[in-house]
Amino acid sequence: MNARNTKYLLSWIELSAAALDHNIKSLVRLAGKRKLAVCVKANAYGHGLAEMVTQLNNRPEIDYLTVHSLDEAILCRVSGWERRIMILGPVANADLEAVFEYDLEPVVSSRETLDGLGQISKKRDQQLRTHLKLETGTNRQGVTEKELGPIARLYKKYSGLKKPYGASMHFANIEDTTNHEYAQHQLKRFRNMVTQMTRLGIKPTIRHTACSAALILFDKTHFDLVRPGIALYGHWPSKETYLSYRLAGGKNDIFEPVLTWKTRVTQTKDIPADAFIGYGCTYQTTSKTGLAVLPIGYADGYNRSLSNLAHVLIRGKRAPVRGRVCMNLTMVDITDIRGVRPESPVTLIGRQRQEMVSCEQLADWSGTISYEILARIAPHIPRIFVSK
């Protein structure tokens, strides 16, 4: 089987190179002179890490990839990425040596990690670029103001570290609201802490705070480097971010979704009135019904909470999900869609003719956000870049 030829696939993801190009240009415009670090954590927001890295390799505008874990960072290297990589999440103490071996830049938010890195830098006689994460009110990762003194001493103790290359923070409440007071408050704390770092003799070379929403909405969060994620893939962080941007006079078309999720009908059948469909008998027909069985289920990331709620697109028309989404299969109603055959193409996320199912729509149906819908699309589904 040739996995690259979608003719032979029952479920696959198409990635638009044109949309990616468009989004990168928008990010470059927003970032201006700052360094651009794009986020490829969570399997590149479900788009496929290796596939995305292969594309991003051809874009010299991008200075950094940011990832959550060491494993993701190594996968970026294995996929040919030679530029800089920042690890946003924790690295196990036992794995710290790999940070040096793969030339990675960890974001450090604990003294233990910093000390561990310092010891290895000494042992290897090797310099390391670190980024210090500052706690400004998200209460997730980050060192507090009180810890800055001991942190400064650790930096000075190890000549391989000297001082942090970067100082960073992450906003708690910038995408889910149109009220940005808390973000302003965090920004103020960030500035204060950086001033304190300077006083302690560990002035960072660069500062960075901006996720997609901050990059899109607030110039003063940009500092020296920006770290967008979801916008690279053509999605707004939230309705609130979109609204804030449009109210400020921003243009509509700066991002285009990169991902389309497709599958094929495996079987069609006619079932009588008063018949039940699927596990739990949650749907009962009221009249003679045409059904199509799709080879997709919650194990693929097509969420069970979409049962009896979502629709898919077949022949440019909406086919509602009937009954429960199963582990590997889903049934949809095609009573009013003519000409559906085994292997007819189906769109789960994306555009088909005049119709569109957005990942934001799936998120609404599932009671979640687009980030989760994308991140949970199973890695086993082939990802294929198409030029359009």
Ligand X SMILES: *Cc1c(COP(=O)(O)O)cnc(C)c1O
Q: Tokens 């009908």 appear where?
A: 265
Shortest separation between residue 348's beta carbon and ligand X, angstroms:
22
Shortest separation between residue 290's beta carbon and ligand X, angstroms:
40
How many C-beta atoms lie closer than 10 Å to residue 367's C-beta? 9
Largest interatomic CA distance in the chain: 78
Shortest separation between residue 341's beta carbon and ligand X, angstroms:
39
Shortest separation between residue 69's beta carbon and ligand X, angstroms:
11
Catalytic residues, by residue number, are: 41, 279
Within 13 Å and on the Cβ side, how many CA atoms surround 90?
11
Q: Which residues are at the interface with ligand X (CB under 6 A)?
A: 39, 41, 88, 170, 211-212, 227-231, 237
Q: Please tell me whether residue 291 adopts helix, strand or coil conformation.
A: strand
What DSSP designation does 130 have?
A: -
Nearer to ligand X, 208 or 383 (CB): 208
Give the DSSP H/E element, type plus range, for residue 131: strand 131-133
Transcribe 24-74 into DSSP letters: HHHHHHHHTTSEEEEE-HHHHHTT-HHHHHHHHTT-TT--EEEESSHHHHH
Measured CA to CA, the distance from residue 106 to residue 99 in angstroms comes to 7
Nearer to ligand X, 217 or 334 (CB): 217
The length of the chain in residues reads 388
Spell out the residues 6+ positions from residue 129 whose beta carbon is closer than 8 angstroms to its own.
105, 165, 166
Nearer to ligand X, 163 or 227 (CB): 227
Terminus-to-terminus CA distance in the chain, angstroms? 24
How many C-beta atoms lie closer than 10 Å to residue 211's C-beta? 21
Shortest separation between residue 107's beta carbon and ligand X, angstroms:
7
Shortest separation between residue 22's beta carbon and ligand X, angstroms:
17
31 within 8 A of 226, measured Cβ to Cβ: yes
Nearer to ligand X, 134 or 326 (CB): 134
Sign of the C-alpha dihedral computed for residues 82, 84, 85 and 91 taken in this order: positive
Shortest separation between residue 227's beta carbon and ligand X, angstroms:
4
Measured CA to CA, the distance from residue 18 to residue 337 in angstroms comes to 31
Phi-psi region of 41 (alpha: psi -120 to 50; beta: other; left: phi over 0): beta
Nearer to ligand X, 121 or 241 (CB): 241
Q: Tokens 């989760």 appear where?
A: 372
Nearer to ligand X, 239 or 269 (CB): 239
Shortest separation between residue 212's beta carbon and ligand X, angstroms:
3
Question: What does the buried/exposed string (b/e) look like for 225-264 if buried means 16 or more CB atoms within 10 Å of the residue's CB?
Answer: bbbbbbbbbbbbbbebbbebbeeeeeeeebbbbbbbbbbb
Nearer to ligand X, 229 or 257 (CB): 229
Nearer to ligand X, 45 or 261 (CB): 45
